[in-house]
Amino acid sequence: MSCKEIPIQQHCLATAGKYKLKKVSTWNVKTALAEVGGLGKPSKMPSFSYNTPTEECNVGSKLRLVKGSVCSMCYALKGRYMFPNVQNALYKRLDLMKNNPNWVSAMAWLINWYSKKTSYFRWHDSGDIQDMEHLQKMVAVVKLTPSVKHWLPTREAKIVKEYTKEYGDFPSNLIVRVSATMIDGKPHKFHSHTSTVVSESKKAVGWVCPSNQQDNECKDCRACWDKDVKDVAYIAH
């Protein structure tokens, strides 16, 4: 068996693309969390999550100034997301993602560790893909966590296009949903999996997220992670 095939819990040296999985026999949850700046655990979702500052979204920071856009009412610019301690934590996560050479290894270690509790993971309950390198790092983590289903919602259509042109399809355990930019807008046609935000359910193209009918919780719905569901429509809050 090659080192690539050995689970991360066995602490081998492996690679996922150009990113190496560091030998981490001395790591525990505390030390791995410190390497990435922590994870999120949305109470109404069946998954852990990773988030960065919404203020640093490339497309989203422009869209939120556009009336009627999906970012004009961004939930991550309100409430607890704006607390100073939360903002500091989000910016720390962004800095570690960009600059810590252990980030890929630590993220993979943590997601594999927490897979004992949940086999689902959400990228960016706030924030978005920063650039191609950021996306490559996330894909590397996905490849190192094959038993976990990953969901990556994004407005960064250009980066997704560039990635698929260069590297082809995403790993089978990752679903990237490219979001429409405007409320009641049509889903993107260039990508196989999309999401939209609609003002009412009758304007939905695909699967309608049921969370507004069940206390804003996923409950037993896993449509966002399901590759058989081509488009997920969220009702605007």
| pLDDT tens digits, 86-112 | 889 999 999 999 999 999 999 999 999
Alpha-carbon gap, residue 83 to 81, rounded angstroms:
6
The pLDDT value recorded for residue 13 is 39
Residue 219, both tokens: 């409950």
Own/partner contacts of 60-67, CB < 8 Å, gap of 24 or more, are: 60/128, 60/155, 63/155, 63/181, 66/182
Alpha-carbon gap, residue 86 to 100, rounded angstroms:
20
SS3 for 54? helix
Q: Angle at Cα 224 formed by Cα 61 and Cα 4, nearest 5°? A: 95
Residue 133, both tokens: 């390198």
Please give the residue that has the higher pLDDT: either 175 or 42.
175
The pLDDT value recorded for residue 116 is 92
